[in-house]
Chain A
Amino acid sequence: MDQIVFFTDILLPALQKGLIITLQLILLAAPFGFVLGVGVAVGRQYGGPVTRVLCKVLVYFVKGCPLLLLLFILYFGLPSIGIVFSAFTASVIGFILCNGAYNSEYIRGAMLSVKDGQMIAAQALGMTRLQAVRTIVLPQAIRRALPGLSNEWIYLIKYSSLAYMITVIELSGSGKLVATKYFTYTETFVAVGVVYLFLVTLTTLAVNAIEKKYAVPGMIRG
C-alpha cells in the first residue's frame, strides 16, 4: 500500500513539476537553437573573414568541450567577470549554444550539397546574395538537414537533464530530490526514465511526421 501512496502522492506531483521545467527548457532552447544554427551556418559559408572565424571558433569550442562544463562556465564562471545569469537562464543559453553549434554543422553540410550553380543563377536573375541564400539555398538546405536537426532535438531533451547540475530542479532534479529523501532510487529513476523515454519516443514520431510533411516529392534526400 505504501508503495502506491508514495507513487501517487509524492513521486508523481514532484515529477509533474519537474516535467514542466524540463519542457520550458526545451521549448525555449529549440527555436533559438535553430535560429543560431542557421545564422552560424550562413555566417561560416557566406560571411566575411571575421564572421567566419568567429562562427568557426564558436562551433569548435562548443563541440569540443562538454556541455556540463559550458554550463558551469555560464553559471559559476561568468559572475566572476560581472555577468550574472539565473540558473534557468544560464541553462537555456547553454542549450541554445550547444544545439545551435551542432545544428549549424548539419545545415552547413546541407548547404554545401546545394550546387554552386544555383547561387550563380539566382544572382544572374538579379537577386542579392542575401535573397539568394534566403529563398534558394536555405529552403533546400534545411530540408536536407532535417534528419540531423531532428536528432539534435532528441539530444536536447536528454541533455536538458544537465540543468540539474547547476541547480535547476527539472525532471531529473526533482527525481533526485525525491529519491534522496525517501531512499527510493531505483523506483524513482525508473519513473523518471519512463518520462524521458516517452518524451523521446513522442518527439521521434513527431519529427518523422514533420520530415514527411516537408519532403518535396521527387527531390532526392540526403
Chain B
Amino acid sequence: MELIPLLLDWFPYLLRGIGVTFGLVLSSLALGVIIGLPMALGQVYGSRLVRVPIGIYVWFFRGLPILVLLFLFYFGIFPGLGFDLSAFVVGAVVLGLRGAAYQSQIFRGAIQSVGEGQMVAARSLGMDRLCAVRSIILPQSMRIALPGWSNEYPNILTDSAVCYAIGVAELLTRASQIVAQTYVTMPIYLAAAGIFILMNYGGMKVLHMIERKIAIPGFGSGAM
C-alpha cells in the first residue's frame, strides 16, 4: 500500500485547517467575552428594559442548533442585509454570538455568587455602582467564572466543526476534501479526529494552567 506517502502528501493541507479551526474558536471566545460580559452585567444590574431583551437573546441563541444558526445567518440574514461576508467571518460571528449567549450565563452566575453585602459595603464607602462593579465585583467573579468559562472551550471547538456546512476550510472540511480526492476514508478521518482530540485536551491543559496561575491562595476557586 502506498498509504503512508499519500497521507504524508496531504498532511500539510490538513494541518493548515488547525489554524482556521483555531481562528474560529478564538474569535468565538473573544466575542463571547466582549458581548457576553456586558450582557451578564445587564442581566444582574440592569432594569427590566435591559433584562428582557437579553433574556430573549439568550433563549434564542441557546435554543437553536448551530447548524440552523449558520444557515440562517450565512444564507439568510447577512445577504438579506446586504453584507457579503466570507464563510469564515460568518462562522466566527455566529459561533461568537452563540458563545456570548452561553458565556453570559456563566458570568451571570459568577457575579451573583459574590455576596450582595459587598456591593452595599462598596456603596457605603462612597464608590458609585460602576466603580464597585469594576474594582470589587468583577475581580472576584471573573476568577469564579474561569473554570466554567474554560469548559466552553471544548464545546466551541467541537461546534466549530459544523462550519463545514457553510464551507469554511477548517479541519473537518479539509479532511472531507481529502477523502473526496483520494477515496481513503478511515485514516484521514481518524487523523482529523486525533488532531481535534489533541487540540481539545491540550487546550484544556493550558486553560487549567491559567486558572492555577491567577487563583488567589485561600480564595476558594469555583467552590463558592
Task: Give the interface of A toward B (CB within 8 A).
Answer: 60-61, 63-70, 72-73, 76-81, 157-162, 164-165, 172, 175-176, 179, 185-190, 192-193, 196-197, 200-201
Residue of A nearest to B70 (CB): A189
Chain A residues near B161 (CB-CB < 8 A) = 66-69
Q: Which of B68, B186, B192, B201 sits near A189, CB closer than 8 Å?
A: B68
A12 to nearest B CB, angstroms? 17
Q: Which of B62, B75, B158, B186 contacts A66 (CB 8 A)?
A: B158
Known A64-B196, A196-B65, A201-B63: A185·B164 in contact at CB below 8 Å = no
Instruction: State the 3 A-B residue pairs at the shortest beta-carbon distance, nearest first.
Output: A186-B76, A66-B161, A64-B197
Task: Verify B67–A76 contact, CB threshold 8 A.
Answer: no
How distant is the Cα of A193 from the Cα of B127 in the complex, in angstroms?
44
Which residue of B67, B192, B197 is within 8 Å of A162 (Cβ)? B67
Residues of B near any A CB (own CB < 8 A): 59-60, 62-69, 71-72, 75-77, 79-80, 154, 157-162, 164-165, 172, 175-176, 179, 184-186, 189-190, 192-193, 196-197, 200-201
Chain A residues lying within 8 Å of B175, measured Cβ to Cβ, are 69, 72
Q: State whether A193 touches B197 (Cβ < 8 A).
A: no
Shortest CB-to-CB span from A22 to chain B, Å, is 10
> A187 contacts which chain B residues (CB < 8 A)?
76
B186 touches A73 (CB 8 A): yes
List 12 extra interface pairs beyond A65-B193, A69-B192, A201-B63, CB under 8 A.
A65-B158, A66-B159, A66-B162, A66-B196, A69-B196, A76-B189, A158-B66, A159-B65, A179-B76, A188-B76, A193-B60, A193-B72
Q: Which residues of A contact B65 (CB under 8 A)?
A: 157-162, 172, 196
Contact assessment for B68 and A77 in the assembled complex, using a CB-CB cutoff below 8 Å:
no
Q: Are A64 and B201 in contact (CB under 8 A)?
A: yes
Q: How far is the CA of A142 from the CA of B34 in the complex (A)?
A: 37
Which A residue's beta carbon lies closest to that of B162?
A68
Question: Whole-angstrom distance from the CB of A222 to the nearest CB of chain B?
Answer: 13
Chain A: which residue is nearest B159 at the CB level? A66
Chain A residues in 8 Å Cβ range of B160: 66
Q: Of A80, A165, A179, A201, which contacts B165 at CB under 8 A?
A: A165
Q: Given A66-B172, A68-B172, A189-B76, is A176 in contact with B193 using a C-beta cutoff of 8 Å?
A: no
Contact B68 A193 (CB under 8 A): yes
Q: B62 to chain A: closest CB distance in Å?
A: 8
Identity of the chain A residue whose Cβ is nearest the Cβ of B200 in the assembled complex: A64
Give the CA-CA distance A117 to B67 in the complex, in Å: 47
User: Which of A79, A190, A201 counts the most chain B CB atoms within 10 A?
Assistant: A190
Give the residue name and chain of the B residue nearest to A164 (CB).
B67
**B67, B69, B176 pick with most chain A CB within 10 angstroms:** B67
Residues of chain B contacted by A159 (CB below 8 angstroms): 65
